[in-house]
Amino acid sequence: MNATIKAPEGFPFPGSILASQPFVLKSVTALLCLLLPASPLIAQRRMSVIVNVEGVRSDRAVQFEPNQVVYEPQFEKGGGAGIGINWFLSGRVSIEAKASALSSRLRLRRTGNDFFAADLGRARIYTVGAVLQWHMLNAGPAIQPYLGVGVGRVLLQDVEKRTLDIGGIEFDNPTGLILNAGTMIGLSKRWSALADVRYTPIETQARARFVGTDAVTEIDVKPLILSLGLAWHF
């Protein structure tokens, strides 16, 4: 039986995303290099390939000066897909490297002397990161809860669309801590289902620069990502 999988409208597959985003590709490559320091050692350890679907929510806090014209980008809830590799250092400790591609509707508000709002369509958010995970139970039980902590980078795609009185939006890409928790449910010796949540309480805020103006706004980028997926163990 042949099956064809189509991406949601306005959202590319992870492969095409990585090909079109050199920084994402380099970041994922660097993370994988960290996980693959020596092939003989890896051959003695358990590894998993993870593929999942994800939903994301971002904070909307914006800092600005009162009584000034303010541009406020707003990311709505969105979703996408992720892929990663989890390398077990021992029965309870593993390192997971993962990249995700997410799509979210982006709106822009301008307040000050007057008020305008515009819908900028679908924005793309990419995340790359590495997490050290602690699995609470030794291998064996069907349900394996885990906790993790690591570091990740959030990549916000610049917007090249003229609206209101701007010619687009340029975003900074912040890096910060990742807090992670989840459960692995064994389906067979080779396959497991995953339910995972990760939060990035990034301390350094991203900047949004509005093309054609002198306006710069600091925005909180703290994505909460919920995911369901499958892991293949080898």
* CA–CA dist 180, 229 (Å, integer): 15
The CATH number linked to 26 is: 2.40.160.20
What would the two tokens of residue 67 be? 């009584």
Once rounded to an integer, what is the mean pLDDT over residues 133-137? 92
Mean pLDDT of 173-192: 91
> Which has more pLDDT, 160 or 20?
160
- pTM of the prediction? 0.73
Q: What's residue 72's pLDDT?
A: 83
* pLDDT above 50 for 201: yes
Whether 104 maps to a domain, the answer reads yes
Output the average pLDDT for the chain: 78
- Among the ranges given (28-37, 57-66, 101-110), the one the predictor scored with the smallest mean pLDDT: 28-37
- Per DSSP, the three-state class of 15 is helix
Q: Is residue 221 part of a domain?
A: yes
- How confident is the model over 68-83, as pLDDT tens digits? 778 888 888 889 999 9
Compute and round to an integer the Cα radius of gyration of the chain: 20
Choice between 141 and 39, residue whose per-residue pLDDT is larger: 141
Task: For residue 5, tell me if it sits in a domain.
Answer: no
Structural domains of the chain, count: 1
Residue 32, pLDDT > 80, answer no
Q: What is the pLDDT of residue 61?
A: 55
The answer to the question of residue 227 being in a domain is yes
Phi-psi domain of 16 (left: phi exceeds 0; alpha: psi -120 through 50; beta: other): alpha
Residue range of the domain that includes 52: 14-36+46-233
Report the pLDDT averaged over residues 1-27. Answer: 43
Estimate the share of the chain in helix, then strand, then coil, as percent rounded to the nearest 5.
Answer: 10, 55, 35
Does residue 138 sit within a domain? yes
**pLDDT for the residue numbered 204:** 53
Q: Average pLDDT of 30-41?
A: 49
